[in-house]
Amino acid sequence: MIKTAANKSRASGRITLAMVAERAGVATMTASRAITQPDMVSQALRDRVEQAVTELGYVPNRAARALASSQSKVIAVLVPSLSNAVFTEVLAGVQDALDADDYQILIGNTRYSDKEEEKLIGTYLQSNPDGMLLSGLSHSPRVQQILTNSRVPVVSMMDMSTDPAQLTVGFSQFQAGHAMTRYLIEKGHKRIGFIGAQLDERTLRRAEGYRRAMLDAGLADIKLEVMVGEPSTIALGAELVGRMLAQAPDCDAIFCCNDDLAHGAIYQCQRRGIAVPSQLAICGFNDLPASAWMNPSLTTIGTPRYRIGFEAARLLRAVIKGEQPANRQIDLGFTLMARESA
């Protein structure tokens, strides 16, 4: 029967469990168990199956397993960027947390686009994932609808949610933006600018924190904001510091919404002969590796992105296993790194 199957035109040519079973002289079922639940098979048969597996070079077919068990062992992770070190560290945390569990991790890059996110979620849903890890809290209505219908467990990463039902791991982007602004105010700065790019939800929340602090201190001025939708780069930071200075020449400190922009701002100041921090204080957000090393070193917010990925994956795994997590919202906090630039 196995041989006939192999002769039929639809056979893939791969070694199948049935072939392994035949070689080991057991039923397919037993071969299956010997591989996936070895404890339930006698030592003797287990050995014979293992040997057949080795001799034949058997590789299980994941599609067949997924179809039969309706368990895909797939976890999809969506991040808005792969060129941003923040998210590659999130991914590293996710991978480390799931490493031993035989999960297949599907990494999706939404490129900061709701459309891309929708497309990726649609594609990934075809793989019937056991769970999903999403970046951010804000998703298009369609995405929310699709997610609800699919009944796939979802954990949101990066920011804290106000909805207690939502599973979330991150820190408050608003509070971090507020804390950095308070730091600059307490240093005696009065004309504190904010440079924001990409304008993703995290940047917008940081800007809200900045505005809250400026308003409360009576320092708010719309001229002190430079917001652009382009992706954050060093080159853009260099350009925007110029724009800020043109727009608010008396600006004495700039809070950049991330370190890339801040690096560009500092390099630009160096070229223009603007002393940092004495003439212009500059700070960033995320604490990338270069920030501690450059001269002047960069004052910034340290963010726990590796741990966000790690804890989010643990939380998702627990939920997939049917556990009721004690804490559905995990706030990992942030750290203000006061250095030379501000």
**Residues binding a copy of itself (CB under 8 A):** 10, 12, 14, 57, 59-64, 66-67, 70, 72, 82-83, 85, 88-89, 91-92, 95, 102, 104, 106-107, 109, 122-123, 125-128, 149-150, 233-235, 238, 263-264, 267, 270-271, 289-290, 293-295
**54 near DNA (CB under 7 A):** no
Q: Does 338 bind DNA (CB under 7 A)?
A: no
Judge whether 275 and 291 are in contact, CB under 8 Å: no
Give the separation between CA 143 and CA 145, rounded to whole angstroms. 5
Nearer to a copy of itself, 62 or 223 (CB): 62
Q: Where does residue 56 fall: left (phi above 0), alpha (psi -120 to 50 degrees), or beta otherwise?
A: alpha
Choice between 188 and 293, CB closer to a copy of itself: 293
Choose between 35 and 227: whose C-beta lies nearer to DNA.
35
Q: Does 8 bind DNA (CB under 7 A)?
A: yes
Report if residue 60 touches DNA, rule: CB under 7 A: yes
Exactly one of 22, 52, 56, 65 binds DNA (CB under 7 A); that residue is 65
Stretch that binds DNA, among 41-49, 142-150, 184-192, 234-242 (CB under 7 A): 41-49
Q: Does 38 bind DNA (CB under 7 A)?
A: no
CB atoms within 10 A of CB 271: 9
Sign, CA torsion 150/326/76/109: positive
Contacts of 110 (CB under 8 A, 6+ apart): 78, 79, 80, 116, 117, 120, 135
Gyration radius of the chain's alpha carbons: 26
Q: Which does 267 bind (CB under 5 to 8 A by kind): DNA, a copy of itself, none?
A: a copy of itself
Instruction: Select from DNA, a copy of itself, none the partner in contact with residue 28, using the beta carbon and a kind-dependent cut-off of 5 to 8 Å.
Output: DNA
A 10 A CB-CB count for 4 gives 8
33 binds, among DNA, a copy of itself, none (CB under 5 to 8 A by kind): DNA
Q: Which one among 47, 54, 67, 295 touches DNA, defined by CB under 7 A?
A: 67
If 0-12 CB within 10 Å is exposed, 13-18 middle and 19+ buried, where does residue 315 land?
Answer: buried
Distance CA 282, CA 86 (A): 20
Positions 11 through 30 that interact with DNA (CB under 7 A): 11-14, 16-18, 26-30
Could you give the CA distance from residue 170 to residue 159 in angstroms, rounded to a whole number? Answer: 5
Nearer to DNA (CB atom), residue 127 or residue 270: 127
Q: How far is the CB of 119 from a copy of itself (least distance, A)?
A: 10
Size of the site for DNA (CB under 7 A): 37
Cβ atoms < 10 Å from Cβ of 18: 16
The separation between CA 48 and the C-alpha centre of its own chain, rounded to angstroms, equals 44
CB 192 within 8 A of CB 250: no
Let me know the angle formed at the C-alpha of 199 by 205 and 278, rounded to the nearest 5 degrees: 75
Binds 16: which of a copy of itself, DNA, none (CB < 5-8 Å by kind): DNA
* Footprint of DNA (CB under 7 A): 5, 8-14, 16-18, 26-30, 32-33, 35-36, 39-42, 44-46, 58, 60-61, 64-65, 67-71
